[in-house]
């Protein structure tokens, strides 16, 4: 059995009573300082929403993110300069000249080649970055905040030099 004693300076003190046998007996008590883990469990890939953008302007959506949008064939891209946000508006009119079409990749994920969009709005990322809080609205538009990203690309590899 565990008893919570009191909270002192943001750290929780806990008293742990050990029990052995069929009926509880207080064999000994251990006082220890505990800190609460503020993270959560790791979600499986199918359960989490995963959206990234790389330095070439490729936007990658996993199956969950694509499903949240309503599984559209393509999107219109918008950029909100004030909020530093990319907005993907779903569309099934893939013959439109300004609609970006999703390309199927492995494991039912989707890739969007948005290089011209990124170049036009001068959107540059250092490598591959993951959007921490991609969200959708009631009609399926996806909102990606560039200010809320984390770098997920590995270290740069050194190229071998040709010695003549």
**Shared domain check, 55 and 28:** no
Q: Which of 100, 88, 94 is nearest to 49 (CA)?
A: 88
> What value does the mean pLDDT of the chain take?
82
**Shared domain check, 120 and 63:** yes
Residue 58 included in any domain: yes
Contacts of 9-12 with CB under 8 Å at 24 or more apart are 11/35, 12/36
Q: What angle do CA 53, 83, 74 make, to 5 degrees?
A: 45
Q: Which of 52, 73, 70 is nearest to 61 (CA)?
A: 52
**How many angstroms from the chain centroid is the CA of residue 108?**
17
Domain assignment of residue 61, given as a range: 51-151
Partnered with residue 101 across adjacent β-strands are 74
Counting the structural domains of the chain, the total is 2
pLDDT band at 8 (very low <50, low <70, confident <90, very high): very low
Alpha-carbon span 112 to 121, nearest angstrom: 16
**Shared domain check, 57 and 30:** no
Mean pLDDT, range 56-63, rounded to an integer: 94
Q: Report, in angstroms and rounded to the nearest whole number, the Rg of the chain calculated over CA atoms.
A: 24
Residue 83 included in any domain: yes
**Shared domain check, 69 and 29:** no
Residue 157 included in any domain: no
**Shared domain check, 112 and 142:** yes
pLDDT tens by residue, 13-25? 445 454 555 545 5
pLDDT tens by residue, 68-127? 999 999 999 999 999 999 999 999 887 888 999 999 887 778 999 999 999 999 999 989
How far is the CA of 97 from the CAs of 12, 32, 58, 93, 164, in angstroms? 59, 65, 18, 9, 49
**Shared domain check, 141 and 73:** yes
């Amino acid at each position: 059995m565990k008893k919570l004693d009191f909270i002192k300076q943001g750290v929780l003190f806990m008293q742990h009573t050990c029990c052995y046998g069929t009926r509880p007996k207080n064999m000994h008590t251990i006082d220890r300082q505990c800190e609460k883990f503020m993270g959560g469990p790791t979600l499986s890939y199918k359960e989490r929403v995963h959206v990234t953008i790389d330095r070439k302007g490729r936007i990658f959506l996993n199956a969950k993110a694509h499903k949240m949008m309503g599984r559209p064939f393509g999107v219109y891209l918008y950029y909100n300069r004030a909020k530093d946000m990319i907005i993907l508006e779903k569309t099934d009119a893939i013959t439109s000249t300004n609609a970006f079409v999703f390309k199927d990749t492995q494991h039912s994920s989707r890739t969007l080649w948005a290089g011209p969009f990124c170049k036009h709005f001068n959107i540059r990322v250092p490598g591959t970055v993951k959007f921490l809080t991609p969200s959708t609205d009631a009609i399926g538009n996806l909102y990606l905040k560039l200010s809320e990203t984390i770098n997920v690309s590995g270290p740069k590899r050194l190229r071998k030099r040709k010695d003549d």
